[in-house]
Structure 1
Amino acid sequence: MASENKSCKTEDVLEIVSKDSEVELCVEDSSSDDEDLIQVDKENSSDSGYEILLKAKSKPALSKARKSGPPEQEEMWHNKKEEDRNPEPFKFMPSRVPGPTFNKTASWSPLSLFQLFFSVPVVQTIIQNTNANAARRKAAGIKFQWTDLTVKDFYVFLAIIVFTGLVSVHHRADYWKREWPYNFHFPQEYMSRNRFEAIVWSLHLSNLKDDEENQKKRNTPQYDRLFKIKPLYDQIVNACKANFQPYKNICIDERMVASKARISVKQYMKAKPTKRGYKLFVLADSASGYTWNFSVYTGKSESNISHGLSYSAVLDLLPFSLLGQGYTLYLDHFYTSPALFQHLRKNCFGYCGTIKKTQSDFPHTEKNDFPKRAERGDMRWIRKDEVLFVKWIETREITMCSTVHRAFSGKTVQRRVKEAGVWSAKQIPVPDAVLDYNKNMHGVDLSDALIGYYSVQQKTKKWYKTFFYHFVDIAIVNSFILHNEICRSQGQEPVTQKKFWEHLAVEMLSFAVGSAPAAPSPTLTCMPRYYGSDATQSRRYCRRCLDAGIPRVKTPIYCRACNVPLCLTSKKNCFERWHDKQEYLSSVNVH
């Protein structure tokens, strides 16, 4: 009887399996049914066919159960006919009103604008260090005529180098020739050639004793390769940031400063008009070309090891607390990285720029990619979360990424195309990111062009003198841009850059003899400034935090008018609140 029962159970199971090949043997639920089957198997251990059948049927059922979930959606390119969503923009909240930060209703001459960058303390520092350097050279036995440099001499010297930017000759000595066609009344009537050359030879920007201390640190991490320009370098950078607030669109790019000096920090860049020289990373306002911040590249350092040079170069130029939120930053492919995307987004900054197809974050799918013979104006796009990737066919394939644009909104650009042997103008579709990139990426190029038209750069083999002349160029060009901004705000027509340089040279000469118009007082405007280049070490206790009973809160920022240290970040704005309180107290005292 036992064998009959055993046979009966096996036949019953075979009959069920043959009727339904999709039978589920409780694959997803390993509770009572599986236990019962295992027990049956144990009780009928002599029936090996039953055990084999269970194993054979359970494997396909498990496989089908795993595949029963929703299939993963494969990444694919979209064409211009497919709609993209509009990214949610960050609210534009700059820390100050965009444009010049000083009182624009006052009368600002070219010289008074220039003195915002070359202030009285800056000029005094240069004069002291130049006199000390000349005295050292005299003590070393070098024979040349020298009397101590004065403010008058320095401004005549500046007027002459501005004049050399307007009038070009083959040799500097030609400016003092009396024969035609070099019989210039200026500069020979104001300064002799020997005096001018003596100032050029002795020009020095840093303290000599501090120079010696820095030289002792050579080949150590504490050695500062830019120490000889640091005093003027820091002052010019701080002045650039203090006197202007960028508009919404900003850009970062490299600038090359030509030099014949022999120093290891010189670079070679094939794509730049100036291929050999010193490399600067520059942040400029896209609309005006105003140089707002810059840094000199000195080679690899510990600061750019973790994320790379391009990442560090961008963040070094972006003091988020001083800028504010909602800006759109335009960059080229050298700076593009996922880590930078995340950091900019964390600080409420938009981003747009070119990107290499070999970049790890760029989509590598070929699904719905360009055909072999794609037409000019054809495009493909993919959106990954908040980042848009776009490919566009022009004369070559252009790849872009953006966090502030939609893929395509129907805009076109005019191009000359050759069809059937005939050239004609044709409107071709263009992605929004490409259009805005071409419009806003050239802020640094605009600044370079303005510097290139008229430049005070002199031939020298001393690298720090090359930077002195370049800093003068930056100060003059930024002053000219501020002049344009002031005129537009007052509904006036600004003068040309050539006229601005001419007026500046004349006013420098007038200032030298004491008849120039006085510059408006800088105390009219309260503006934030940094105590030094090192934001960690150069800090003071915040005045407002101390008044509020919150001790030991340090900040690297102070008000240049009130000379009071105050916090200024996106989350904590003691600078604004403290000044609001001072205005309230003043109004109460008046009434």
Structure 2
Amino acid sequence: MAEAVFIKEEVKEDFLPKRRSENKAKQGYNKKRRTDIKEEEDVDIKEENEIETSENEDCIDINEPSYILGLSDSNEHKQAVLDVTEKTPAAGPSAGHRSSHHLASEASGPGRSCLHRYFPDSDWDDDVGSSSSSDDDSDSEWDELGYISSESSNDSDTPLSQVVLRCSQRNAPGTPGFVWKRKQNVPQRYRFAASPGIKLNHLERTSTPRTLFDCFLTPELMQIITNETNRFAGQQERSTSSHMKEWKDASVDEMYVYLGLRIMMDVQPRPRQRHFWSRDPKVRCCLFPKTMTRDRFDSLSRYFHFSDNNDPRAAEDQLWKLRPVIDAISRQFSSVFIPSKLVTVDESLWAFRRHHHAMQYNPSKRASHGMKVYQLCASDGPEAGYTCAFRIYIGQDRSDFPVSMKVVVDLMEAADMLGKGYEVHLDNWYTSPALFHYLQTQSTSAVGTVRPNRKFMPRDMEVKVRGDVDYRSTRTGMLCLSWMDKRVVTMLSTVHTSEMVTLPTRQQGVTRSKPRVVMDYNVGMNGVDLSDQLPQYYPTTRRSIKWYRKIFFNLLDMCIVNAYRLHKLLGGNMPQYNFRLELVDSLLGLHSNGTVSRTARELDHLPDFTPHQRYRRCRMCWRAGLRRDTRIMCIACKVALCAGRCFRRFHTQ
């Protein structure tokens, strides 16, 4: 028994040292394994930083100092990333280096709403090489936040704005990151950085129509038009017509009178222009012969000009005949007034049927034939219809961008609206995913109808019955929605979700609903439509062979409409008819009693002897059926008249 106990104790003493050595070896192996894992993780982090550095070198240079895509590189936005990291529990062997798409699924609060739309993730990268949408209708959360290493989010010197821009480039249309999915859209929100309102301190509610009109058609511009008209008249051969008198240089006041008569012609229209000077009591208008003779009006119309014919820009600028007017009016449109957040871009067609290489045909427009002009207008509030910028289409415009995209960008740049948080409304000729993505990079929202066959659009959306709605969205906050009304309506927006709005019930008691994006679009497109509608009541355009004169009077209508919208914005309640009448009174120099002031009359209608004092037949007596000769004539009209009553009646009737 004692021997057995001795053997057991001996075996136990031999076994314990062996087990201790095995435990030490196992501990050493585990320690080495942990070291290897840490080294591998350090290598992975180093490689990712190198990749990010190389991508930063490939990115375009950013000159925007502040908000890009609605974010900035301020400490508040960086702290949002740190807040997301701090909210994640440090559990598990790799808690110190958890991927950021795991953080996004666990974090909540303001940090997630700032960044979660811009960074790539494994879920989206699975769809590489496809721009079509995915029918993933599961309730799982999007992996919306890509991997951000602790160094890049905390210690990197790269501004967050550049990181966001780089990630938005990865998600641009045509890249593997641009994928449509049937998910609720999360639109981007931009801070509205503009300061809307009238920028001229002397304008107030009591400002007259003439004061508002002079803000756009300035006295300096009228002086240029007067000088060019006189220059052009001096370059032309004298008319051989018996009733056309020798040209006399016009003054600025006379040019204002001429424009006032042109405006008045459409406030009180006549079948023919000569009827305004008719003596027939059924069609006569006493204002015109009292203000200016018909021959003088015809002479000003014939020589009305805006640019020197020897202008060197004629070889390269197809609008050189109107360039001084276009440049001056464009500057005033964008500087006098800055619109509120909602604006719209659309085209108008100015009626013109003469031969010109830029003639357009559009049966959907009020004037099916004419010159096309693109307009950027305010579409909200009393200033709706105010034209902020315009561009006249004069022929093919070749560039690296599609014309529909270039027009919108050029107009927004001309009005200085990019990067300020504006919301632009477009029709289906302009709307495309590429344009909307570019506007997002410029902190600009966009809403518009879209053609389903546009490039990079989803191809699997189906609506069959009236009231059906189908939608797709991208990770950058772009929504594509199809709604079946009487026909399929397809919308593209970077502002809306797929929210439906219940409309008031009809008499039949049927409840209807409509997508909010459609309702907001109908309100937002009001700008250009109103800008086209207002001049059609009293258009100043008349038949003309010269295309540039036709365009000028369309620009004159645009100036009057802008002045009228400012009148409404300042609190005025004058109808457009009365607004134009008061403007005409000021341009013609009329007093309150309706008489013409001396500054607006031709002061050289004085009697004098006929050449060589020969007798001539009196014009007024001849009209009355009498034969009387006289040696007195008007030195301005070159008409023989009896001194006294005939002379006075000829110049007052």
Q: TM-score, normalised by structure 2?
A: 0.60
Distance 1:465 1:129, change over 3 A: same
Q: After TM superposition, list the pairs within 5 Å mapping 1:127-146 onto structure 2.
A: 127-138=226-237, 144-145=244-245, 146=247
> Does the alignment pair 1:75 with 2:159?
no
Q: Quick one: distance in 2 between partners of 1:294 and 1:434?
A: 26
Amino acid at match of 1:432: R
CA distances 1:16-64 after superposition (whole Å, capped 9, x unpaired): xxxxxxxxxxxxxxxxxxxxxxxxxxxxxxxxxxxxxxxxxxxxxxxxx
SS of residue matched to 1:401: strand
In structure 2, the residue matched to 1:510 is 589
How far apart, in 1, do the equivalents of 2:553 and 2:502 lie?
43
2:188 corresponds in structure 1 to 88
Q: Which secondary structure does the structure 2 equivalent of 1:187 belong to?
A: helix
AA partner of residue 262 (structure 2): I
* 1:193 pairs with 2:294: yes
Structure 2 counterpart of 1:183:
284
Q: Which AA in structure 2 matches 1:411?
A: V
Instruction: Provide the secondary structure at the position in 1 that maps to 2:261.
Output: helix
The answer for the alignment partner of 2:402 in structure 1 is 308
CA shift, 1:336, in A, is: 1.7
Rounded to whole Å, the distance in 2 between the matches of 1:135 and 1:180 is 38
Q: Is the 8 A contact 2:349 2:369 kept in 1?
A: yes
> Is 1:164 aligned to 2:254, yes or no?
no
Q: Confirm or deny: 8 A CA contact 1:132 1:208 kept in the other structure.
A: no
1:389 aligns to what SS in structure 2?
Answer: strand
Q: What is the CA-CA distance between 1:424 and the residue it aligns to?
A: 3.4
Q: CA deviation at 1:261?
A: 2.6
- Check whether the contact 1:260–1:460 (CA below 8 A) recurs between aligned residues: no
Distance (whole Å) between structure 1 residues aligned to residue 241 and residue 326 of structure 2? 29
Q: Which residue in 2 is equivalent to 1:407?
A: 498
From the superposition, tell whether residues 413 and 272 of structure 1 become closer, same or farther in structure 2 (CA, over 3 Å).
Answer: farther
Change (3 A) 1:78 1:133: farther
Partner of 1:119 in structure 2? 218
1:277 aligns with 2:370: yes
Q: Is the 8 A contact 1:126 1:205 kept in 2?
A: yes
Q: Report the Cα distance in structure 2 between the residues aligned to 1:427 and 1:348, rounded to whole angstroms.
A: 38
Q: Cα distance, 1:150 vs. partner?
A: 0.8
Q: What one-letter code is carried by the residue in structure 2 that aligns with 1:361?
A: F
- Sort the Cα spacing of 1:70 and 1:431 in 2 relative to 1 into closer, same or farther, 3 A: closer
Distance 1:378 1:315 in 2: 34
Which one of the candidate residues 311, 317, 336 is aligned to 1:224? 317
| 1:339 CA displacement | 2.6
Give, as a single letter, the amino acid of the residue that structure 1 aligns with 2:409.
L
SS in 1 for 2:457: coil
| Partner secondary structure for residue 363 of structure 1 | coil
Any idea what SS the aligned residue of 1:380 has? strand
Equivalent-residue separation in structure 2 for 1:175 and 1:83 (angstroms): 66
SS of structure 2 residue aligned to 1:178: coil
Is 2:442 aligned against 1:383? no
For residue 158 of structure 1, what is the amino acid of its counterpart?
Answer: L
Task: Report how many residues are paired.
Answer: 418
Unaligned ranges ≥5, structure 1: 1-68, 218-222, 417-422, 488-492, 517-591
What CA deviation, in whole Å up to 9, does each residue of 1:541-580 have, x standing for no partner? xxxxxxxxxxxxxxxxxxxxxxxxxxxxxxxxxxxxxxxx
Verify the 8 A CA contact 1:415 1:426 in the aligned structure 2: yes
Determine the structure 1 residue equivalent to 2:23: none
Q: 1:195 to 1:355 in 2, by over 3 A?
A: same
Contact map agreement 2:185 2:479 (CA 8 A) in 1: no
Q: Residue 253 of structure 2 aligns with which residue?
A: 152
User: Which residue of structure 2 lines up, in the alignment, with residue 568 of structure 1?
Assistant: none
Q: Offset at 1:468?
A: 1.2
1:354 aligns with 2:449: yes
SS at match of 1:352: strand
Residue 234 in structure 1 maps to residue 334 in structure 2:
no
Contact (CA 8 Å) 1:100, 1:244: kept in 2 or not? yes
The CA deviation at 1:298 is 1.4
Q: Could you say which structure has the larger radius of gyration?
A: 2
- 2:580, 2:205 → 1: CA distance? 21
1:338 maps to: 433
The residue type equivalent to 1:274 in the other structure is A
CA contact (8 A) 1:152 1:513 kept: no
* Secondary structure in structure 2 of the residue aligned to 1:209: coil
CA shift at 1:180, angstroms?
2.1
Query: What are the superposed Cα offsets for residues 367-386 of structure 1, whole Å, 9 maximum, x if unpaired?
Result: xx33x4x1x22211111121
Work out the CA distance in 2 between the residues paired with 1:437 and 1:202.
45
Structure 1 pair 184/149, CA: closer, same or farther in 2 (3 Å)? same
**How far, CA to CA, are the matches of 2:265 and 2:137 in structure 1?**
56
For CA contacts below 8 A with separation 6 or more, give which structure has more relative contact order.
1
The 1:119/1:342 distance shift into structure 2, 3 A limit, reads same
1:430 to partner: Cα distance: 1.0
TM-aligned CA deviation for residue 99 of structure 1: 4.5
Is the 1:99–1:247 Cα contact (8 Å) retained in structure 2?
no
Q: Which amino acid aligns with 1:339?
A: A
Cα distance change on mapping 1:165 and 1:426 into 2, 3 Å: farther
Q: Say which SS state the counterpart of residue 286 (structure 2) adopts.
A: coil
After superposition, the C-alpha distances for 1:214-234 in whole angstroms (9 at most, x for unaligned) are 45x3xxxxx211100111011
Partner residue of 1:532?
none
The answer to whether the Cα contact below 8 Å between 1:77 and 1:382 also exists between their aligned partners in 2 is no
2:490 aligned partner, one-letter code: T
What is the aligned counterpart of 2:489 among 398, 412, 424? Answer: 398
Q: What amino acid sits opposite 1:257 in the alignment?
A: W
Aligned amino acid, residue 307 of structure 2: S
Aligned-residue Cα RMSD (Å) equals 2.6
- AA aligned opposite 2:264: F
Does 1:329 find its partner at 2:424?
A: yes
Judging changes above 3 Å, is the alpha-carbon distance between structure 1 residues 415 and 182 closer, same or farther for their aligned structure 2 residues? farther
User: Percent of aligned positions with the same letter in both sequences?
Assistant: 28
Structure 2 Cα separation of the partners of residues 299 and 206 of structure 1: 21
CA distance in 1, matches of 2:278, 2:241: 26
